[in-house]
Structure 1
Amino acid sequence: MKKYQLYRETILPITLLEAWDFFSNPSNLSKITPAEMEFKVVTSNLPQHIHNGLMIEYVVRPLAGVPLKWLSQISSVNAPHSFVDEQLKGPYAYWHHEHTFEEKDGKVLMKDHVTYAISFGWLGRLANALIVRSKLEQIFDYRTAQILNIFKAA
């Protein structure tokens, strides 16, 4: 299974604790996901902040409006510096997303490091090259713009 990497860095004009407060709240994910993906959390009674072992189920429509169920688990939390979410069930053969936050010159350097894989051998590699990679980049571009807009207004 071939694994792919997606890496992003964003400088946030806020404190480390403000960054942690926003990103550790699972309800905020919908605020930074493109509307056309119709992201919807299915899990009821979500806590205000993530914790090790937290499972979050949601439905997302990343391509052509087709609904996909996704079950993630927060597998590691090192508040307020990092957390990892991993897909347990969903569209990827493998998904590991590490979020890190580092105070730097009165701001926060946020890093996203995603490792993912797609099933179906050469067809999965072709799908990644033609569709999946660019869609993920678009999602993360949107996410960055939304985050900067939210914190600019704060």
Structure 2
Amino acid sequence: MVERRPAKPSVGDLIGLASAAGQEARVVAARRRVANIRLTDEERRICTDDLAEAFAVGRLDEDELHRRVDRLNEAVTHGELQPIFAGLPAPSLYQLEPRKTGRWRWAAFVGAVWLALPFFLLGLVFLVFGRELAAAIFGLPAILWTLVAYRWAKGTTRRSRRT
């Protein structure tokens, strides 16, 4: 019989686990910061929607849903939500939503293009005069630099919190 070893996690898997742990830590920190703050009607509505969604996907039965909604309606502070959502995903109240990138990233992208432009043009000149190797040495890094800068400028970060 062949002995199976557990596969080593790849670098991508480790990065994914680290980012998930970081996201979870931010959610826990957000919960701690507001633990003593009173709930608003809108926050109760959001939590009720989250419980209804858990019921809809089969995480809760009907009796459990009613018990948790009753406890939610009696809850006064955010700290009292922890036992209500025990065994369920964190309420969307604490989830971070993506924030649009600032204009400064696009300004930095324009600067990166201006830096790459002379090298790209020099590569074109070498290409026209039959120096393919020199054209590749100058032109390809300039194109890659521009593509990397574009992806960076286009990317979004997750920092803001839904209220």
Q: TM-score range by the shorter chain?
A: under 0.3
- TM-score normalised according to structure 2 size: 0.25
Q: Comparing both chains, which one has the higher relative contact order based on Cα–Cα distances under 8 Å and sequence gaps of 6 or more?
A: 1
Query: Which structure is higher in strand share?
Result: 1
Structure index of larger Rg: 2
Query: Which structure is higher in helix share?
Result: 2
- TM-score normalised according to structure 1 size: 0.26
